[in-house]
Amino acid sequence: MIDFGNYVYDYIKEGQKYELNKIKKMLQLLRNPQNKFKSVHITGTNGKGSTATYIEYILHNAGFKVGKFTSPHLVSYNERIRLDLEEISKEDFHNILPEIEKASKIIEEEFGDKPSFFEMVTAISFYYFAQKKVDWAVVEVGLGGRLDATNTLEKSIAVVTNIDKDHCGILGNELKDIAKEKIAITKKDCHIISSEKRPELKKLFRDYAKEMNSEIFINNKEFSTKIVSKAYDNIVFDYSGENKFKSLKLNMPGEHQVENAANAVKVAEIIKIDEKYIKQGLEQAFFPGRLEIISKKPFVMMDGAHNRAGLNTLCVYLENYFENKEIVFLSSILRDKNADLFYRKLSKYSKEIVLTHIDNKRMMDIKKMQRIAKKYFKTVFVFENSEKALEYIYNKNLNSSKNIIITGSLYLIGELKSSSIYKKIKK
């Protein structure tokens, strides 16, 4: 039986062209599955995955058959496509493969090029959701919005979490340019939800909504939240919108999660979901690799902060709950990231860091990483193997008061989640 991950891996290539012609044609060949279910389409710089997960769990608790398509994965490609909280199985993938293969070959013949990896995975997810007759699909944009393969959905509820600078070579260097790319997932006569704060970008969104004859809801205007209590591992808040919901609890830590959850609640209001299912969904929601606590003694947390906004979120969390506490970092980053900014900001909370290699061709040269980290950290250890790095740092601090924070790349998080030392810590 062909493995999903091994199959789609053949479609990964450098320098792909961002356009919609191939994916539109492929979906036509598959009888336009994207038109056979309702959808919530989510874009933004950060918070997409968490927002998608809150919506997924709320819809599931309300009794809907729900699919979710997100990226990237941490351990298995199957993580990207879920049905009723379960990853797509090898059997389900095997059953739909003949139709996918047939369409892919026609695309290659017609365009002189295979579909890209993301086009393939998008087509697989939409076809799978249509075949399984989902009521709702929660779909995360891969990159940007306007030319993303997912922007073939019809009449979705659109969610734009926030805007920051990322993928500037593709989306542009100015925030307004990035915002225009992302808001372009909106279709006519639909709903738009956002937690963006900048006045100029909110105006851009409202103008676009008017142009598309769509109703827009922006956090702290059409709906709002108030934090009731917070701890390092959970947060409770009140929500005020069309309805008032009290004491909504999240077990995904960090104040930023309130914004993500509020977007999800607004989606639930639009769909007319009962309060009890909203509460259940929010409390049960879990999204790995984002401020994920995997051990409390010693404290070990994984957070794939891989861009400026993600780094700021991690720093706020550390300031709120780990001020004057000892921390040691385990980190690796990709070469297209700002290592100087990353390690300078982390050094505010610790003077000890362990750097490691990850099995990814986009990884920054470890000697360069070490050279930059030494500018800001008093103690810098280097391990070529990420599992050995985690084993070293865990055993060294097993009986100490130091808190271990693993950060810098979702690829690092994914690699470590496959390791034996992770399984030992997680027990």
| pLDDT attached to residue 168 | 45
| pLDDT attached to residue 360 | 84
Evaluate if residue 187 carries a pLDDT over 60: yes
pLDDT in tens, 277-308: 999 999 999 989 889 999 998 899 999 887 78
Query: Looking at 12-21, 264-273, 311-320, 327-336, which range is the least confident one?
Result: 12-21
State the pLDDT confidence band at 134, using cuts at 50, 70 and 90.
very high
| pLDDT attached to residue 6 | 66
Query: Looking at 162-176, 278-292, 330-344, which range is the least confident one?
Result: 162-176
Q: What pTM does this model have?
A: 0.90
Mean pLDDT of all residues in the chain?
91
Task: Read off the pLDDT of each residue in 244-260 and give the average, rounded to a whole number.
Answer: 95
Task: Read off the pLDDT of each residue in 329-352 and give the average, rounded to a whole number.
Answer: 93
pLDDT in tens, 347-393: 999 999 999 998 888 899 999 999 999 999 999 999 999 999 999 99
| pLDDT attached to residue 173 | 60
Q: How far apart are CA 132 and CA 381, in angstroms?
A: 49
Evaluate if residue 167 carries a pLDDT over 50: no
Task: Read off the pLDDT of each residue in 159-178 and give the average, rounded to a whole number.
Answer: 71
pLDDT in tens, 189-245: 999 999 999 999 999 999 999 999 999 999 999 999 999 999 999 999 999 999 999
Query: Looking at 141-145, 243-247, 258-262, which range is the least confident one?
Result: 141-145
| pLDDT attached to residue 174 | 80
The full set of domains in the chain, from first to last, is 4-284 (3.40.1190.10), 292-426 (3.90.190.20)
| pLDDT attached to residue 141 | 95
Task: Read off the pLDDT of each residue in 118-127 and give the average, rounded to a whole number.
Answer: 96
In this predicted model, which residue has the larger pLDDT, 14 or 368?
368
